[in-house]
């Protein structure tokens, strides 16, 4: 079982040393826990895919601790630069053209000529700065399982496969980063996430180009393999059947809620930020009960509700 350590100067030094040797370290970020390796170390990156059991064609997000570090690897256009200035560090990932001589290992980009980059807050940035190299880090969960938002969830899922787990408590955002790609005048939302699309639209004064979510979800390898609990999921539920587990939202209850076998509320007050923080943890807890079905109350599609509903739709989709 991997060592779980609280965060102090010694833990940061130890994490950076392990990563420099091609090790795998689970690190908290504001969004979810990342399964991190030095992005320039092919052996370390290969271990990420091995630990997650993830198909190799899926490119990974890289994490930097400064804009200067980002510029060692990618070219930053003026629109992306504005987004970076406004939202880094934070839950925003930008897909940017890779520099010719960039030393990121090709496994990270799955051979693409672009790199997905973000700057996290807190301990992750401290480890990256100490290592002085970007970290490739997908969410710290086995492929197809729910993303980990606590150190314990990482340990339960990947414990034996990582060298060290840094315990930073519950992730403050709780959803993976929002992924954006700028092409000419078009700003595309590749993945809704922890930064609400409306915040980007307000800054840029224009609408984001959204992918057809149903098409995105049905794209091969996107849905069936993502965010899937073992229990079946039923969404937008206004009536609960006896024996179901209830994932509630807000102050008012679906009909029959008193018959639910288990019950957790994402946010009693109907606050979408609070709901995002609890989403993966509560899905996991209800999945660990004996209930065969998790019924989810309706969640509004505005703000972080867009990303919450995206993750729920993936979790509820038929398994292939
Ligand atoms: O919040 C997050 O983003 C978390 C934490 C750990 O930072 N990381 C995360 O990474 O979710 P990962 O590797 O699981 O996200 C991969 C997503 C995939 O949907 C992938 O298709 C997209 O990023 N992606 C990566 N590189 C890309 C690229 N060059 N072009 C387009 N999409 C890319
Ligand atoms: Mg993931």
Q: Which residues contact 57 (CB under 8 A, 6 or more apart)?
A: 110, 221
Q: Which residues contact 84 (CB under 8 A, 6 or more apart)?
A: 67, 70, 76, 92, 94, 119
Ligand 1 atom closest to Cα of residue 137: 6
Section 23-42 average pLDDT? 97
Class (C level, CATH) for 232-316 = alpha beta
Mutate to test the pocket of ligand 1, among 53, 64, 134, 138 (most ligand atoms within 8 A of CB): 138
319 is in an annotated binding site: no
DSSP state of 214: H
Mutate to test the pocket of ligand 1, among 29, 52, 61 (most ligand atoms within 8 A of CB): 61
pTM: 0.90
Ligand 1 in reach of 89 Cβ (< 6 A): no
Q: What is the pLDDT of residues 272-313, one digit of tens each?
A: 999 999 999 999 999 999 999 999 999 999 999 999 999 999
ipTM greater than 0.90, yes or no?
Answer: yes
Residue 20 and residue 38 in contact, taking contact as beta carbons nearer than 8 Å: yes
**Mean pLDDT, all residues of the chain:** 92
- In 3D space, the residue among 211, 78, 210, 225 whose CA is nearest the CA of residue 141 turns out to be 225
Ligand 1 atom closest to Cα of residue 27: 6
Residue 214: per-residue pLDDT: 59
Structure tokens at 130: 């100490």
Q: Which residue has its alpha carbon closest to ligand 1 atom 1?
A: 176
Distance 260 CA to ligand 2 centre (A): 29
Q: What is the pLDDT of residues 233-271, one digit of tens each?
A: 999 999 999 999 999 999 999 999 999 999 999 999 999
- In 3D space, the residue among 96, 142, 150, 141 whose CA is nearest the CA of residue 118 turns out to be 96
Give the span between the Cα atoms of 8 and 11, in whole angstroms. 5
Confidence of residue 213 (pLDDT cuts 50, 70, 90): low
Quickly list H helices, 132-271.
Answer: 151-158, 197-204, 213-218
Is residue 16 over pLDDT 60? Answer: yes
252 is in an annotated binding site: no
Give the span between the Cα atoms of 170 and 28, in whole angstroms. 8
Indicate the pairing of strand 135-136 with strand 33-38.
antiparallel
188 is in an annotated binding site: no
Q: Break the chain into its structural domains and give their ranges.
A: 3-211, 232-316
Ligand 1 atom closest to Cα of residue 36: 6
Distance 176 CA to ligand 2 centre (A): 8
Confidence of residue 110 (pLDDT cuts 50, 70, 90): confident
Domain covering 3-211: architecture: Alpha-Beta Complex (3.90)
Q: Read out DSSP for 238-288? A: SBPPTT-EEEE-SSSPPBTGGG-SEEEES-TT--HHHHHHHHHHHHHHHHT
Is residue 201 over pLDDT 70? Answer: yes
114 is in an annotated binding site: yes
- In 3D space, the residue among 169, 219, 172 whose CA is nearest the CA of residue 191 turns out to be 219
Residue 223: per-residue pLDDT: 44
Section 48-65 average pLDDT? 86
């Amino acid at each position: 079982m991997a060592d779980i350590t609280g965060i102090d100067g010694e833990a940061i030094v130890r994490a950076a040393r392990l990563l420099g040797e091609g090790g795998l370290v689970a690190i908290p970020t504001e969004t979810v826990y990342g399964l991190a390796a030095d992005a320039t170390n092919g052996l370390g990156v290969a271990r990420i895919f091995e630990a997650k059991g993830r198909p190799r064609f899926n490119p990974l997000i890289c994490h930097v601790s400064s804009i200067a570090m980002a510029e060692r690897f990618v070219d930053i256009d003026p629109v992306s630069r504005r987004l970076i200035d406004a939202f880094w560090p934070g839950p925003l990932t930008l897909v940017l053209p890779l520099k010719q001589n960039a030393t990121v290992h090709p496994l990270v980009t799955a051979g693409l000529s672009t790199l997905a980059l973000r700057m996290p807050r807190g301990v992750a940035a401290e480890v990256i700065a100490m290592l002085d190299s970007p970290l490739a880090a997908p969410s710290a969960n086995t492929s197809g399982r729910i993303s980990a938002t606590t150190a314990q969830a990482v340990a339960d899922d990947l414990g034996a496969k990582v060298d060290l787990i840094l315990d930073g408590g519950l992730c403050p955002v709780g959803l993976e980063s929002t992924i954006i790609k700028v092409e000419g005048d078009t700003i595309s939302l590749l993945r809704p996430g922890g930064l609400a699309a409306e915040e980007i639209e307000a800054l840029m004064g224009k609408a984001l180009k959204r992918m057809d979510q149903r098409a995105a979800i049905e794209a091969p390898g996107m849905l069936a393999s993502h965010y899937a609990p073992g229990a079946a999921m039923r969404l937008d539920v206004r009536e609960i059947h006896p024996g179901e587990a209830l994932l509630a939202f807000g102050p008012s209850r679906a009909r029959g809620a008193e018959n639910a076998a288990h019950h957790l509320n994402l946010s009693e007050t109907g606050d979408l930020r609070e709901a995002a923080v609890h989403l993966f943890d509560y899905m996991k807890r209800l999945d660990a009960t004996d209930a065969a079905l998790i019924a989810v109350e309706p969640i509004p599609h505005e703000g972080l509700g867009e990303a919450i509903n995206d993750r729920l739709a993936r979790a509820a989709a038929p398994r292939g």
